[in-house]
Amino acid sequence: MAHPKRKISKSRRDKRRTHYKASVPSLTTCSNCGELKLSHRACPNCGYYAGRSVFVPEG
Amino acid sequence: MRHRVKGRKLGRTASHRLATMRSLATALFLHKKIVTTLAKAKHARTFIEPMITKAKADTVHARRLVEVHIKDKEAFKELFGDIIQKVGDRPGGYTRIIKLGQRRGDAAEMAILELVDYSDIVEKEKPRKKVVKEKAETVEEANVVEETTETVEASEEVAEEAAPETEATEEPAAEETVEENAETEETPAEEAEPKAEEKKEETSDKNEDEKKDN
């Protein structure tokens, strides 16, 4: 079986990892309460989705 | 290639998966709206929707087909009474999935699985009001506690102010009993000792400072 001839140097390893980046979450404002929320999900603040109350938030 | 591979395993054996689907279906027919993980909700959809379609026929055969999965009599009655009446002649698509975001603990994507024809049912606002009331009560209690502590502090201050006066008045008329004398002598001594220590410390500090300066 083929094997690597050389150990990957720290430099090459770290250069490869420069492309591993955290993505920005796609946030929108809630149409009911105006809080920031994840798109396509019920608002955790007011419990609304698509213009109707889906659940009653605690407290 | 996962061509023509349907459904998901949910990390369960076939029997465990079937039991999960049955319990989810029973819960949905009873409550019309359930919260579960997104993966389970999506898989349950493929289990529940054909069952409602069969139930709509409302024949003895349909009842026996559904009976295989729905063992709970209440849920069974609910399906063949209320639900198929409300569903009417809707051509499929009886359920709706609303994503809720990730839950604490394992960050699993959560979702609401609900019957489309029961979307007018909104949760009661009661629990929310209770919480508000409880909060108000706790705030009031906190205020009371603060007030009491303040009054206690005030009374302590008064006592401290009053104490030297009483001692002063007692001293001329003193030497009636030994115990009283002991008490009156002890209290000033106790007060005086820490002060003396503090003064000593201060003076020592000053001395040190002076030494440093030198």
Whether A42 sits inside 8 A of B131 (CB atoms) is no
Q: Could you tell me which residue, B64 or B127, shows the higher pLDDT?
A: B64
| Residue B14 token pair | 């076939």
Residue B81 lies in a domain: yes
User: How many angstroms separate the CA atoms of B29 and B95, rounded?
Assistant: 11
With contact defined as beta carbons under 8 Å apart, do B17 and B69 qualify? no
Q: Which residues of B touch A (CB under 8 A)?
A: 35, 98-101, 112, 119, 122-125, 127-128, 131, 135
Give the C-alpha separation, A59 to B125, whole Å. Answer: 11
In terms of CA atoms, which chain A residue is nearest residue B135?
A: A59
Question: Does residue B85 sit within a domain?
Answer: yes
Examine residue B181 and state whether it is found in any structural domain, yes or no. no
Residue A48 lies in a domain: yes
Q: Which domain holds residue B108?
A: 14-123
| Contact between residue B10 and residue B40 where contact means Cβ atoms under 8 Å apart | yes
Bridge partners of residue B101, in order along the sequence: B110
Interface of A with B in 39-58 (CB under 8 A): 40-42, 44, 49, 52-58
Report yes or no on A18 lying in a domain: no
- In a domain, residue A2? The reply is no
Written as six digits, the tokens of B7 are 């459904």
CB contact under 8 A, B125 and A58: no
Task: Please check the confidence at residue B39 and state whether its pLDDT lies above 90.
Answer: yes
Nearest CB among A41, A57, A59 relative to B99 is that of A41
Q: Taking CB atoms and an 8 Å limit, are A53 and B98 in contact across chains? A: no
Asked if residue A51 belongs to a domain, the reply is yes
Q: Is residue B104 part of a domain?
A: yes
Residue pair B55/B81 in contact by the 8 Å Cβ criterion: no
Residue B144 resides in a domain: no
Q: Which residues are CB-neighbours of B8 under 8 A, at least 6 positions away?
A: B39, B42, B43
Cβ pair A49:B98 closer than 8 A:
yes
Cα–Cα distance measured from residue B187 to residue B168, given in angstroms and rounded to the nearest whole number? 12
Domain-located, residue A12: no
CATH of the domain at B78: 3.90.1030.10
Domain that holds residue A32: 26-59
Report which DSSP code applies to A41: S
Tokens of B91: 């051509």
Checking if the pLDDT of B175 tops 50, the result is no
Q: Which helix (H) or strand (E) holds A53?
A: strand A52-53
Burial label for B47, CB within 10 Å (0-12, 13-18, 19+), is middle
User: For the ranges A33-47, B23-37, B64-78, B161-175, which has the lowest average pLDDT?
Assistant: B161-175
In a domain, A35, yes or no: yes
User: Residue A58: pLDDT band by 50, 70, 90 thresholds?
Assistant: confident
Q: What tens digit of pLDDT does each residue of B115-125 get?
A: 999 987 666 65
Q: Which two tokens stand for residue B78?
A: 């609910």
Higher per-residue pLDDT: A12 or B192: A12
Q: How far apart are CA B32 and CA B78, in angstroms?
A: 10
Per CB-CB distance under 8 Å, the chain B contacts of A41 are 98-101
Contact partners, residue A25, CB within 8 Å, separation at least 6: A38
Q: pTM, whole model, 2 decimals?
A: 0.62
Residues near B7 by beta carbon (within 8 Å), at least 6 away in sequence: B43, B46
Instruction: Please indicate whether, in this complex, the C-beta atoms of B100 and A58 are within 8 angstroms of each other.
Output: no
The overall average pLDDT reported for chain B is 76
Is there a domain that residue A45 lies in? yes
| Residue B131 pLDDT > 50 | no
- Total tally of structural domains belonging to chain A: 1
Contact criterion met (CB < 8 Å) for A56 and B101: no
Nearest to A53 among B35, B100, B122 (CB): B122
List, in order, residues 6 or more apart from B113 with CB less than 8 Å away.
B24, B28, B33, B34, B35, B36, B41, B44, B45, B95, B96, B97
Domain count, chain B: 1
Q: Residue B181: is it exposed, middle or buried by C-beta count within 10 angstroms (0-12/13-18/19+)?
A: middle
Task: Please tell me the distance from the alpha carbon of residue A58 to that of residue B202, in angstroms, as a whole number.
Answer: 56
- What is chain A's Cα-based Rg? 22
Instruction: Compare A3 and B202 and report the one with higher pLDDT.
Output: A3
